[in-house]
Structure 1
Amino acid sequence: MVLTQVIDFMQPTISIITPSFNQARFLPRTIESVLTQDYPNMEYILMDGGSTDGSLEIIRNYADRLSYWESKPDRGQTDAINKGFARATGKYLAWLNSDDVYKPGAISEAVDFLENHPEAAMVYGDCTFIDAQDREIGRFPAAQTDVHRLRRGYVHIPQQASFFRADLWRKVGPLDLSFYFAMDYDLWVRLAKEAPLIYQPGRVWASFRLHGDAKTIAADDRCWPEMLRVHYREGGHRLAPIVLKYQLRKLVAPVINWRRQRMFRFPARAEME
């Protein structure tokens, strides 16, 4: 028993941040998916923006298993993530939104990879789409990318299934508070300029929940303009592939959003398609 405790203590700490606001419907599933991970040295920080839907009572039920939590008004999701990471002490970092979930074993696998690949800034795996009832309704199109492909709009990183180094976060962070949607894309570009982002195909580490109030459904039209802000900040020009992709995206956006709506409203039908 003592030897096991010593080995557990020697494992590097990973800090997981959950930003939350009025997500009581899904919050218990998110918290449980973190707390039931098999990784022994984990710091879990929950930053709630002053929810009024019963989230506070849920958080208090888990308070003795959280490293830190608070519930007070903030400047939004990006601010909550930044404040959580400012308190984090882990060697590795990640955030899991309050309607998403980790798959069993995800953190152990991610930390093991980062420990054995010190050249990597970040590792990310695969991610499924789930609906409000936890039914799997699709698969995120994850793929290997790098700083050059990111800047062309070739992202393919599921934020829910990504884990990165705290020392690089301290170098390139925090998240830009002016971003509502693409703060993760902005971070990926900054990290990728420092070291490789490595994809682990076939390793399903998280589930991304699609539902009527999700940002992906409700505000997708804000993502690409924010990505273009990153593009121009990095010296990109107006005829770059990412700009052309944005123009195409605007044309097909109604179809994309319609299909997403069908995915979480009619999952069985979406699977048949």
Structure 2
Amino acid sequence: MALLNELPLVSQKRGWPWNEEVEQDVYESKKHWPKISIITPSYNQGKFIEETIRSILLQNYPNLEYIVIDGGSTDDTVDIIRKYEKWITFWVSEKDKGQANAINKGIDKSTGDIFNWINSDDYLAPDALVTIANAFKKGYSVAGNVYNFYDSDPGFKDIIQNKGLSGHQFLSLKSTFHQPGVWCDLNNIKAAGKFPEQSSYYFDRIFFTAYFIQFSQVIYSNEILVHFRYHENSKTLVIRDSKADELIDYYNELLKNPLFEDFKKDLKLALKYQLLPEKHISDWEYENAHKKIGSRLSSYLGLMLKKPELIQSRHFFTKLKRSVLQNLT
């Protein structure tokens, strides 16, 4: 049964997923659909989570397992979850150890064929689940496109296409990886182990580093599956502006791991041309953020003299263009 008329009315909102839903006739082509398990980890995202929930439920997917793991929110998140609890397979609101811990808790409850998590500030595109289910094969991952957006900038358009998710390309950071668009066989996810809960920012990339080495078969889709929201509290923006120490430490540990002997070249290239340059440039930006333009430019060029290897990194010239030279115009 279609859900739109059953779900709580949100009268002040229009469009997907407020007063629109995926039509049920898209599911008439099959009698049996693979079970899709979706987890939404959440903490104090009452501003956004209703859109997330509705975008998942209003897929009208016939074999959905939806789990919400909230970290003990103190805003109106729990009130919103309760509005929809009739259609949520399982939910809990309790203090946890962070996002990776919430996802691990959700995986322990998951019983489906296909798995992903959708954060409580993002939302599924219409027809996302029928697209994923039609593409899915047992043992494979399905990787589609992700639409990045800013609520404050309607003109911003950035579509990221997941590609090159093989072990070597992923390790060398030559792939394009945007987690919400990557949907995996749940059995493979469980076989790969737990998401690293000690990781603050890069737990997904750390987990999938080992995952794509073990389970390298990926089916690629050109369809947009998820809308990914940038906002001032977005973890992705925090990572973009933060040091890469967490991932650098992880890569250095992998270099000592005999299981990654065949990937040492990839690890070293990633460290030399991406991770270490990002760290050096991030450190520079932090130290020079409040300097005048002339001082910023001279110190940035001085960085090149101190660390000439940065010339081989595209990040050096990207930062020069975006953060230094554009302020001269």
TM-score (norm 2): 0.69
Match of 1:126 among 134, 145, 150: 145
Match of 2:167 among 141, 144, 147: 147
| 1:229-268 aligned within 5 A | 229-235=249-255, 236=264, 240-244=268-272, 245-253=274-282, 254=285
| Alpha-carbon distance in 1 for matches of 2:74, 2:244 | 31
| Alpha-carbon distance in 2 for matches of 1:13, 1:238 | 36
Q: Is the contact made by 1:8 and 1:41 (CA closer than 8 Å) also made in structure 2?
A: no
Match of 1:53 in 2: 75
* 2:84 maps to 1:73: no
Shift of 1:224: 3.2
Moved over 6 A (4+): 4-9
Match of 1:138 in 2: 157
Match of 2:56 in 1: 34
Given residue 91 of structure 1, which amino acid in structure 2 is its aligned partner? D
| Alpha-carbon distance in 1 for matches of 2:139, 2:267 | 33
Q: Aligned in 2, Cα 1:201/1:88: closer, same or farther, shift over 3 Å?
A: closer
Given residue 51 of structure 2, which amino acid in structure 1 is its aligned partner? R
Q: Is the contact made by 1:17 and 1:94 (CA closer than 8 Å) also made in structure 2?
A: yes
| Alpha-carbon distance in 2 for matches of 1:81, 1:96 | 10
Shift of 1:176: 0.7
TM-score (norm 1): 0.83
Q: Is the contact made by 2:144 and 2:221 (CA closer than 8 Å) also made in structure 1?
A: yes
* 2:119 maps to 1:91: no
Match of 1:101 among 117, 123, 140: 123
Shift of 1:136: 6.2
Match of 1:215 in 2: 235
Given residue 169 of structure 1, which amino acid in structure 2 is its aligned partner? I
Instruction: Tell me the SS of whatever aligns to 1:193.
Output: helix
Q: Aligned in 2, Cα 1:23/1:136: closer, same or farther, shift over 3 Å?
A: farther
Determine what percentage of the aligned residue pairs are the same residue: 27
Given residue 218 of structure 2, which amino acid in structure 1 is its aligned partner? I
| Alpha-carbon distance in 2 for matches of 1:55, 1:69 | 12
Match of 2:6 in 1: none
Structure 1 stretch displaced more, 164-173 or 245-254: 245-254
- 1:1-20 Cα offsets, whole Å, 9 max, x none, are 9xx99997732211000000
Shift of 1:197: 4.8
| Alpha-carbon distance in 1 for matches of 2:177, 2:103 | 18
Q: Is the contact made by 2:148 and 2:227 (CA closer than 8 Å) also made in structure 1?
A: yes
| Alpha-carbon distance in 1 for matches of 2:202, 2:243 | 6
Q: Aligned in 2, Cα 1:100/1:239: closer, same or farther, shift over 3 Å?
A: closer
Match of 1:111 in 2: 133
Q: Aligned in 2, Cα 1:123/1:31: closer, same or farther, shift over 3 Å?
A: same
Aligned-residue CA RMSD in angstroms? 2.9
| Alpha-carbon distance in 2 for matches of 1:134, 1:90 | 37
- 1:198-226 Cα offsets, whole Å, 9 max, x none, are 26252111111100011112243557333
Task: Give structure 1 stretches of 5+ with no counterpart.
Answer: 261-273
Structure 1 stretch displaced more, 244-253 or 182-191: 244-253
| Alpha-carbon distance in 2 for matches of 1:209, 1:65 | 24
Instruction: Tell me the SS of whatever aligns to 2:148.
Output: strand
Q: Is the contact made by 2:171 and 2:267 (CA closer than 8 Å) also made in structure 1?
A: no
Match of 1:157 in 2: 177
Shift of 1:33: 1.0
Given residue 268 of structure 2, which amino acid in structure 1 is its aligned partner? A
Given residue 179 of structure 1, which amino acid in structure 2 is its aligned partner? S
Given residue 176 of structure 1, which amino acid in structure 2 is its aligned partner? P
Q: Is the contact made by 1:26 and 1:99 (CA closer than 8 Å) also made in structure 2?
A: yes
Looking at both structures, which has the greater relative contact order when contacts are Cα pairs under 8 Å and sequence separation is at least 6?
1
Instruction: Tell me the SS of whatever aligns to 2:136.
Output: helix
Match of 1:186 in 2: 206
| Alpha-carbon distance in 1 for matches of 2:193, 2:243 | 20
- 1:112-154 Cα offsets, whole Å, 9 max, x none, are 2123xx452x221111111135846232543323111111122
Q: Is the contact made by 1:124 and 1:161 (CA closer than 8 Å) also made in structure 2?
A: yes
Instruction: Tell me the SS of whatever aligns to 2:59.
Output: coil
| Alpha-carbon distance in 2 for matches of 1:193, 1:238 | 13
Structure 1 stretch displaced more, 223-232 or 173-182: 223-232
Given residue 242 of structure 1, which amino acid in structure 2 is its aligned partner? A
Q: Is the contact made by 1:38 and 1:105 (CA closer than 8 Å) also made in structure 2?
A: no
Match of 2:40 in 1: 18
Structure 1 stretch displaced more, 207-216 or 217-226: 217-226
Q: Is the contact made by 2:69 and 2:91 (CA closer than 8 Å) also made in structure 1?
A: yes
How many residues align? The count is 254
